[in-house]
A and B are shown apart, each in its own frame.
Chain A
């Protein structure tokens, strides 16, 4: 008699219908892939064993409560469950590094405050004001494009639609706006750095 290989979908259906041997076949068919997948992530036999077991407990519970909708994707579904359990495992085992302050070691040598200090804040405000003054000097069409692009974060397509010009014209205006700004900055030797 020919050895008929039943597809996963049929085995799942049989299992949900009460055929316990179908589960054994499904596990036997996919155990290597699932176990190997888990091991490749956690690299520990014992943990792999635990996650493999938890994966199938979840599979059994879902199938028995008839919450599984068969779409011919049994293996990807099981893999997804094991993937989520792997993520959970890493999330739980993640330990916060602990640093104790001693005479030789100060906590502030590894902790920094990246927020700008008062001086830097004043400088950037000044730069902003100077830049805005320079932008005001630009021809109206160039200023319009630059403001829409840089301050209102519009795309060139949107700018072209709003101003009633082609995208190429909008791009050209932006280019001229930047060139003119650069020229004025160089001419007046304005320093715009923070």
Chain B
């Protein structure tokens, strides 16, 4: 039988961001309010 020279690929871990990053983004999104008045844009972050 023909010899296989290719090495078995080590299953790479799926690259994912940290849970803290996702959690920060979701909290940031909830806290952020953007209001547009004419040409002006106001951003406010609720604590």
Assembly CA distance A32 to B22 (angstroms):
12
Identify which of A57-65, A90-98, A118-126, A128-136 touches chain B. A57-65
A32 contact set on B, CB distance < 8 A: 14-16
CA distance A31 to B25 in the complex (A): 12
Q: Does A35 contact B (CB under 8 A)?
A: yes
Task: List B contacts of A27 (CB < 8 A).
Answer: 22, 25-26
Interface size, chain A (Cβ < 8 Å):
21
Stretch at the interface among A48-56, A144-152, A175-183: A48-56
CB atoms of A53 and B21 under 8 A apart: yes
Chain B residues 3-47 with CB under 8 Å of chain A are 14-18, 21-22, 24-26, 28-30, 32-34, 36, 41, 43
Given contacts A20-B30, A65-B36, contact A56 B15 (CB under 8 A): no
Q: Are B15 and A61 in contact (CB under 8 A)?
A: no
Q: CA of A57 to CA of B28 in the docked complex: distance in angstroms?
A: 8
- If over half of B's interface residues share one DSSP class (helix, strand or loop), that class is named, otherwise mixed; here it is mixed
Per-residue CB contact flags for chain A residues 19-41 toward chain B (1 = under 8 Å, else 0) read 01001100110011001100100
Closest-CB distance, B37 to chain A (whole angstroms): 12
Give the Cβ gap from B4 to chain A, nearest Cβ, in Å: 27
Contact, CB under 8 Å: A35 / B16: yes
Q: Which residues from chain A contact B32 at a C-beta distance below 8 Å?
A: 60-61, 64
Q: Given the known inter-chain contacts A35-B17, A39-B15, A49-B17, please indicate yes or no for A64 contacting B25, CB distance below 8 A.
A: no
Given the interface pairs A39-B15, A49-B17, A65-B41, the reply to whether A24 lies near B26 with Cβ below 8 Å is yes
Complex formed: what's the CA distance from A127 to B23 in Å? 72
Chain B residues in 8 Å Cβ range of A39: 15
CB distance A53 to B25 under 8 Å?
yes
Chain A residues with Cβ under 8 A from B26's Cβ?
20, 23-24, 27
Task: Check A49–B21 contact: CB distance below 8 A.
Answer: yes
Contact present for A23 and B15 (CB under 8 Å):
no
CB distance from A104 to the nearest CB of B (A): 46
Contacts of A49 in B (CB 8 A): 17-18, 21
Interface residues in chain B, defined as those with a beta carbon under 8 Å from any beta carbon in chain A = 14-18, 21-22, 24-26, 28-30, 32-34, 36, 41, 43
